[in-house]
Amino acid sequence: MYFFFLGESGERNPLVKKDEPFVMLALGLHEYQWRRFETTLNGRKLLLIQNIFDRTGVRLDLADAEVHSVDIRIPKKRAQHPFLRHLTEAELNGLMDLYYTQLEARHFTVMAIVVDKACLLNYMDKEKVTKKVYELLLERGESFIGIEHPKQQAIFVLDKTSKELNHSIAMKHAYFQRSQTSAGVRLKHVVEMPFFVESYLFNPRRSHRTTQSLFNRALQLSSPT
């Protein structure tokens, strides 16, 4: 079984920041790698939490160690973070390096959809954009599993956002399972409804954020403007 962890960056409203892309990225992880990945990341964070307690007497837990890329990149945010503000430069760099090396060590699959909002038709709103991008990622996930691992299945995992948007995505997913996508793709390997989860104790989601930050930076560097 593969788990695909989805997340987005950028403004999905087509009328806002038209010069900036909207990106939805998926990280695929096989169930066999899950425990190793969790054990590696949580082990490092628990070690850092113990180091913080030894140095400062401040007691933290794993929920305090949720890491967003914005908290790392912006010094002001980092100084306010309950976990990051206590790390030395070497500890912070070591933790980030560990996130990135796990992508290769655990054989993550990375897929992304990039939307140039300036090219969207007028009828597209933020809900339609989100559902369309989700559909495209479903097609890519189905294609990947069907070609590379035809005996495996896949489940898509998303952050809990608004109840209305989650419901809309779930209903669209259910329709694709009954029928097919607009491109005629049938979901033979993507099973179940998408899972909507809280991210604060979810290591794949935090690896997703750091990967998405790198992906967005690559987009900026490759842009002709």
Q: What is the pLDDT of residues 64-77, one digit of tens each?
A: 988 877 788 888 99
Token pair 């990622």 is found at 137
- pLDDT bin (cut points 50, 70, 90) of residue 209 is low
Structure tokens at 49: 């939490």
- The yes-or-no verdict on residue 216 having pLDDT over 80 is no
- pLDDT bin (cut points 50, 70, 90) of residue 222 is low
User: How many contiguous H segments (helices) and E segments (strands) does the chain have?
Assistant: 7, 5
**Who wins on pLDDT, 141 or 119?**
141
- The yes-or-no verdict on residue 21 having pLDDT over 80 is yes
Give Cβ neighbours of residue 3 (< 8 Å, ≥ 6 apart).
28, 29, 30, 31, 34, 154, 155, 157, 204
Please provide the average confidence, as pLDDT, over all residues in the chain.
87
CA distance 119 to 205: 30
Report CA-CA distances (Å) from 150 to 108, 144, 145. 17, 9, 6
Say which range, 13-27, 102-116, 174-188, has the weakest mean pLDDT: 13-27
Q: In what order do the strands lie in the sheet with 2-9?
A: 109-115, 22-30, 2-9, 154-159, 195-197
Strands (E), the chain: 2-9, 22-30, 109-115, 154-159, 195-197
- The yes-or-no verdict on residue 199 having pLDDT over 60 is yes
- pLDDT bin (cut points 50, 70, 90) of residue 210 is low
